[in-house]
Chains A and B, each alone.
Chain A
Amino acid sequence: MLEIGPIFRSLMRNKTGALLIAIQIAITMTIVVNAVFIVYERSQKMQRESGIDEANSFYLSSSGFGSNFNAKVTITEDLAALRQLPGVIDAVQINAIPISGGGWSMGLKTQAGVEYDGVGVAVYMVDEHGVNALDLDVIAGENFTATDVRWREPAQSDWPNDVIITKAMAEALFPDEHYSKTVGKTVYINDTEPMVIKGIVDKLQAPWVGWSRVENAMLSPEHLNNDATRYFVRTEAGQRDAVMQQVETFLAERHTGRIIRGLNTIEETRARSYRGDSAMIKILTTVMIVLTVVTALGIVGLASFSVNSRRKQIGTRRALGASKGAVLRYFMMENFIITTVGVLVGAALTIGLNIVLVEQFDLTPITWYYIPVGMLILWLVGQLAVFGPASRAAGIPPAIATRTV
């Protein structure tokens, strides 16, 4: 028979140790549940797909110098040569690299005029090879053709006639329409300049991984006439590293009036961009483990002390008819009651801390089921921690009851 009532009354008469453990459990639950939620969110964020072929892509910078350097000619020839290299699927000049942290953003509007709000969008300037080089899926409309692509001069501020946008951007601009129906519609950039949506790509993330509108991106059909430029190269599967080694020398030798640098894989870029999140996950995981272990040790300590100081009492219970199982259950139940107080207080504190985190750091409110799952885990930790001391208690012989020392 469970002895909930007597155990509870007994604990109420000797509350200090139990209360300290309950507080420790409450604090552990508060921190661990919120930390688990943050870790989950961060890891979900890190696992988002950028939309490009990350495993087989890399990029590099080419910076021309000297009065003889002709950017247009060099870029055109470089791209033609790169696309011919064995192992290369496609290459493109690009103004910014997805998930790299640096890029160019604009606002697109469905109505012309400064009085209308725009939707923020990351701008990638690419030619008709951009879709293939980035490995994007055109899910509505079509890709650019060579005739759509223009050269943007350094001081030029106007925009081409056509644009390809991501599905997420289409849905943000036209929330009431299916994305496929937005092909052919006109949107406005720079408040009043019209661009016609030529195609929709399934997915392409912006360069800024922490941006709330990271899925909003557009492709603008243009080359940049700049001495300093960036090439994005997609290789056949497994060829990336070999191609990277060749390309640096290949481009440097093709034109000596420039510097080739900044050779990076997208995988390296992803790791760099998510370094903060990754560090946060590691730190929080360590804190969670340490806290849980310390709490478990606290439970073991309290239970061991309780068993050692109640040996005679346990022997008496055994003499009065308690089986080993009954003694084991007694201590497990005692811990369950302490843990229950801890997790109930912890549940309230968890919600409280989450409200503070949401208000102060703009985090997402915790999903409700994290709290019962957290309670369940701490109950389990408590029961596992107390099992050793409780088993020792169950092993105390009943003959202890008649010993006078």
Chain B
Amino acid sequence: MLQMTDVKKVFRTDLIETHALRDFSLQVDEGDFVAVTGPSGSGKTTFLNIAGLLETFSDGTYELDGVNVSQLNDKQRSRMRNEKIGFIFQGFNLIPDLDLFDNVDVPLRYRGFNAKERRKRIEQSLDLVGLANRMKHLPAQLSGGQQQRVAIARALAGEPRFLLADEPTGNLDSTMAASVMALLQDINARGTTIVMVTHDQVLANQAKRNIFVRDGQVSELSTGAAFPNAAIA
């Protein structure tokens, strides 16, 4: 599903060079649920951005679903993000002026689905996260946990094969965090590959695999507690 080999990412200014990723190699298989942990500044978010095609990398190779992404132009990368990747952000990143229906609709419109197909998918995905009856509400009218559920619904509506979650419970209390985590596990159980960046080791342990990142490199791989039989690449 995801194969990174010796990926490097260097941020350059006139004065300094920062090596955010150094020879970063990782393989994530279809149906995997990988938690990425590490201290602040270790390169977790850079990895997530590169994995999600939000950023380019300086060197190495990255294949997503068999496609060498370094060959893609901006438009092709946008299309690939839209079709293959679902994003869940720490701050939910819902559009405050749009109701839940329109928020979930955003990636579907870029996909070019017709109105009937979009409606069906929006209703299904909001139903999956238990918010089908609040489609006309604005994000501000929901709790944090509910907003994150909308963000998950938005990520799932396009039926991506790969879900990237950036601290999905970072802004939630423990009860809501547990509920979101349960939802992610449920989604993973349905076959969607998930890579989750988190600070929370308890949460990370619920994934099938744990990856610890330090100084821009994968320093440790382990199986998560919830999925003891998961294979390590």
Count residues of A near B (Cβ-Cβ below 8 Å): 27
Given contacts A321-B78, A321-B81, A398-B54, contact A312 B93 (CB under 8 A): yes
B97 adjacent to A321 (CB under 8 Å): no
- Residues in B with CB closer than 8 Å to A322 are 78, 82, 110
- Residues in B with CB closer than 8 Å to A325 are 75
Residue A326 CB within 8 A of the other chain: yes
- Residues in A with CB closer than 8 Å to B83 are 321
Determine the residue in chain A with the shortest Cβ distance to B112. A1
Residue A71 CB within 8 A of the other chain: no
Per-position 1/0 for B162-198, Cβ under 8 A of A = 0000100000000000000000000000000000000
What is the minimal beta-carbon distance from A15 to any residue of chain B, in angstroms? 11
Determine the residue in chain B with the shortest Cβ distance to A320. B107
Q: Which residue from A1, A318, A401 sits with its C-beta under 8 Å from B89?
A: A401
Bound-state CA distance A313–B96 (Å) is 9
Residue A317 CB within 8 A of the other chain: yes
Q: Which residue from B55, B79, B93 sits with its C-beta under 8 Å from A316?
A: B93
Please report which residues of chain B, range 93-116, place their CB below 8 angstroms from some CB of chain A when the two chains form the complex: 93, 95, 97-99, 102, 105-107, 109-112
A14 adjacent to B54 (CB under 8 Å): no
- Residues in B with CB closer than 8 Å to A313 are 93, 95
Determine the residue in chain A with the shortest Cβ distance to B170. A404
Determine the residue in chain B with the shortest Cβ distance to A1. B109
Bound-state CA distance A14–B98 (Å) is 11
Per-position 1/0 for B60-82, Cβ under 8 A of A = 00000000000000110011011
A402 adjacent to B48 (CB under 8 Å): yes
Residue A344 CB within 8 A of the other chain: no
Please report which residues of chain B, range 180-229, place their CB below 8 angstroms from some CB of chain A when the two chains form the complex: none
Residue B42 CB within 8 A of the other chain: no
**Most chain B CB inside 10 Å of its own CB: which residue of A317, A321, A323, A326:** A321
What is the minimal beta-carbon distance from B184 to any residue of chain A, in angstroms? 17
Please report which residues of chain B, range 119-152, place their CB below 8 angstroms from some CB of chain A when the two chains form the complex: 138
- Residues in B with CB closer than 8 Å to A402 are 45, 48-49, 52, 54, 89-90, 166
Bound-state CA distance A323–B83 (Å) is 13
B154 adjacent to A323 (CB under 8 Å): no
B105 adjacent to A6 (CB under 8 Å): yes
Determine the residue in chain B with the shortest Cβ distance to A398. B54
Bound-state CA distance A244–B102 (Å) is 80
Residue B24 CB within 8 A of the other chain: no
Residue A167 CB within 8 A of the other chain: no
Determine the residue in chain A with the shortest Cβ distance to B115. A5
What is the minimal beta-carbon distance from A4 to any residue of chain B, in angstroms? 11
Q: Which residue from A3, A14, A399 sits with its C-beta under 8 Å from B97?
A: A14
What is the minimal beta-carbon distance from A7 to any residue of chain B, in angstroms? 9
A319 adjacent to B52 (CB under 8 Å): yes
Given contacts A10-B97, A316-B93, A325-B75, contact A3 B49 (CB under 8 A): no
- Residues in B with CB closer than 8 Å to A401 are 54, 87, 89, 93
Please report which residues of chain A, range 1-21, place their CB below 8 angstroms from some CB of chain B when the two chains form the complex: 1, 3, 5-6, 9-10, 13-14
What is the minimal beta-carbon distance from B200 to any residue of chain A, in angstroms? 15
- Residues in A with CB closer than 8 Å to B97 are 9-10, 13-14
A319 adjacent to B79 (CB under 8 Å): no
B90 adjacent to A324 (CB under 8 Å): no
- Residues in B with CB closer than 8 Å to A319 are 52, 54, 81, 87, 93
- Residues in A with CB closer than 8 Å to B107 are 320-321
**Most chain A CB inside 10 Å of its own CB: which residue of B83, B93, B107, B111:** B93
What is the minimal beta-carbon distance from B6 to any residue of chain A, in angstroms? 21
Bound-state CA distance A6–B103 (Å) is 9
Bound-state CA distance A22–B81 (Å) is 36
B106 adjacent to A323 (CB under 8 Å): no
B78 adjacent to A318 (CB under 8 Å): yes
- Residues in B with CB closer than 8 Å to A320 are 81-82, 87, 106-107, 110, 154
Residue B31 CB within 8 A of the other chain: no
What is the minimal beta-carbon distance from B105 to any residue of chain A, in angstroms? 7
Bound-state CA distance A13–B95 (Å) is 12
What is the minimal beta-carbon distance from A292 to any residue of chain B, in angstroms? 29
- Residues in A with CB closer than 8 Å to B89 are 316, 401-402
Residue A397 CB within 8 A of the other chain: yes
Bound-state CA distance A318–B53 (Å) is 10
- Residues in B with CB closer than 8 Å to A326 are 78, 110
Per-position 1/0 for A297-330, Cβ under 8 A of B = 0000000000000001100111111111110000
Q: Which residue from A3, A323, A398 sits with its C-beta under 8 Å from B75?
A: A323
**Most chain B CB inside 10 Å of its own CB: which residue of A1, A312, A324:** A1
What is the minimal beta-carbon distance from A180 to any residue of chain B, in angstroms? 70
A399 adjacent to B49 (CB under 8 Å): yes
Determine the residue in chain B with the shortest Cβ distance to A321. B82
Bound-state CA distance A6–B82 (Å) is 19
Bound-state CA distance A89–B191 (Å) is 102
B81 adjacent to A6 (CB under 8 Å): no
Bound-state CA distance A14–B140 (Å) is 14
What is the minimal beta-carbon distance from A9 to any residue of chain B, in angstroms? 7
A-B residue pairs in contact (CB < 8 Å), sample of 7? A6-B98, A9-B99, A317-B110, A318-B78, A398-B81, A404-B90, A404-B91
Interface residues of A (CB under 8 A from B): 1, 3, 5-6, 9-10, 13-14, 312-313, 316-326, 397-399, 401-402, 404
Q: A1-B109, A313-B95, A321-B110 are in contact. List 4 more A-B contacts (CB 8 A).
A: A320-B106, A321-B78, A323-B74, A398-B53
